[in-house]
Amino acid sequence: MQSGTLIFPVLERLVYGEPAAPAVAAEAARRGARRVFVMASGTLNRKTDEVARLRVALGARCVGVFDRMPSFTPRQAVLDAAAEARAAAADLVVTFGGGSVTDGGKMVRLCLQNNVTDLDGFDAFRSVTLADGTRTVPKFEGPKIAQIAVATTLAGGEFNNQAGCTDLRVQIKHGYRHADLMPRTVVLDPAPSVHAPLQVWLSTGMRAVDHAVEGICSQFAHPGGDASFIHALKLLSRGLRAVKREPGNLHARLDCAMGVWLSMAGRQGRAQMGASHALGHVLGGSYEVPQGDASSIVLPHVLRFNRVVNAAQQRTVAESMGFPNDDAADVVAALALDIGTPRRLSEVGIERAQFAAIADHAMHESWLHSNPRPITDAAQIMDILNAAA
């Protein structure tokens, strides 16, 4: 008999299909916030009027805008944003952009709560995984300042209680985990997402596909999670192709955004991610490969590696994506081909000479040790990398 515990997140509200600016302003008012600090994508702030509309909607509540968060959320940029938020006496953080901005908001709130003011100050809060899978997650005080997230890509970080933050001194993206890191309100307005480069947006969609696929294939899956993951794949499979054909299709963009939510909601219970996510963290944090591109490349080969232990679950993946008679790895690869995301590591500048270091780093990723087919040696990761070369 299956047993387990479903842990529901601190997310209070999901606002979807409404214009972002008034929706955020209404949420800020509902929360009684008086000093709202906005963290936004630089492109969104400098080249569109989306952030200006948000500032107008917030009025006197807006006490600052930070738009200098690079990809992969470097520690120094987090410190810079935290210093500005601290000086502004912020009582609410609003993030408006992609995954790096979303994670930046989480990390700024962590810094404000725990008085992190220098690069070394992050180390006391990061999770550590040893090569044998032993993991240490520090206990610390979670942020008291809430976050409202407006997502403009499909990365999905707005729906989890983890954050990634890169230490550029060692070129490693570390993970941070606390229930209160999750935003309290998420706003899904498809209109601002049209400003993101189309291929960037589609790439992040493959990351959401990765969430759902590895969730279904997890040895810790449960019926509630499966229901979310299965419908997520249905929405994402058709929605991503529709947006590739017609980038201005807001209905399809919202379908994809809802698919992201479902792909993350399924993880509230016991479902664990696997080797594709682990390799994505390494390729992103240490080699600057966008995580969606990493998913697009690696996931089919991880599925083939795992097929001997979860063939039935992989059939569910293929069926959910609309191809019940095909191999799941081939179905995922076909989606990548249809939407134009990379399919080989060589396409994103990763060479075979780097594989050994990637494999070694991956052994220290927590998700690697929950892969459905146990990985106990870096040589097994080398097999996956060579297949994806």
CATH number at residue 278: 1.20.1090.10
SS3 content of the chain, % helix, strand, coil (to 5): 60, 10, 30
Q: Is the pLDDT of residue 290 over 80?
A: yes
Q: Please write the tens of the pLDDT for every residue from 197-254.
A: 999 999 999 999 999 999 999 988 788 889 999 999 999 999 999 999 999 999 999 9
Which residue, 129, 162, 191, sits at the end of a domain? Answer: 191
Shared domain for 312 and 252, answered yes or no, is yes
Q: Within a domain: residue 126? A: yes
Confidence of residue 134 (pLDDT cuts 50, 70, 90): confident
Extract the tokens encoding 203: 């790439």
Residue 359 has a pLDDT of 96
Q: Please write the tens of the pLDDT for every residue from 241-289.
A: 999 999 999 999 999 999 999 999 888 767 889 999 999 999 998 899 9
Residue 34 has a pLDDT of 97
Residues 6+ apart with CB under 8 A from 50: 20, 21, 44, 96, 192, 195
Q: Within a domain: residue 58? A: yes
Shared domain for 117 and 228, answered yes or no, is no
Residue 197, SS3 per DSSP = coil
CATH number at residue 59: 3.40.50.1970
Residue 13, SS3 per DSSP = strand
Shared domain for 187 and 202, answered yes or no, is no
Shared domain for 20 and 143, answered yes or no, is yes
Look up the pTM and report it: 0.93
Residue 129, SS3 per DSSP = strand
Domain range spanning residue 225?
198-388
**Angstrom distance (rounded) from CA 122 to CA 115:** 10
Beta strand 185-188 with 146-151 is: parallel
CA distances from 355 to 13, 174, 274, 288, 361 (A): 42, 20, 18, 15, 10
Shared domain for 245 and 304, answered yes or no, is yes
Domain count, the chain: 2
**Angstrom distance (rounded) from CA 174 to CA 165:** 5
338: how many CB neighbours lie within 10 A of its CB? Answer: 14
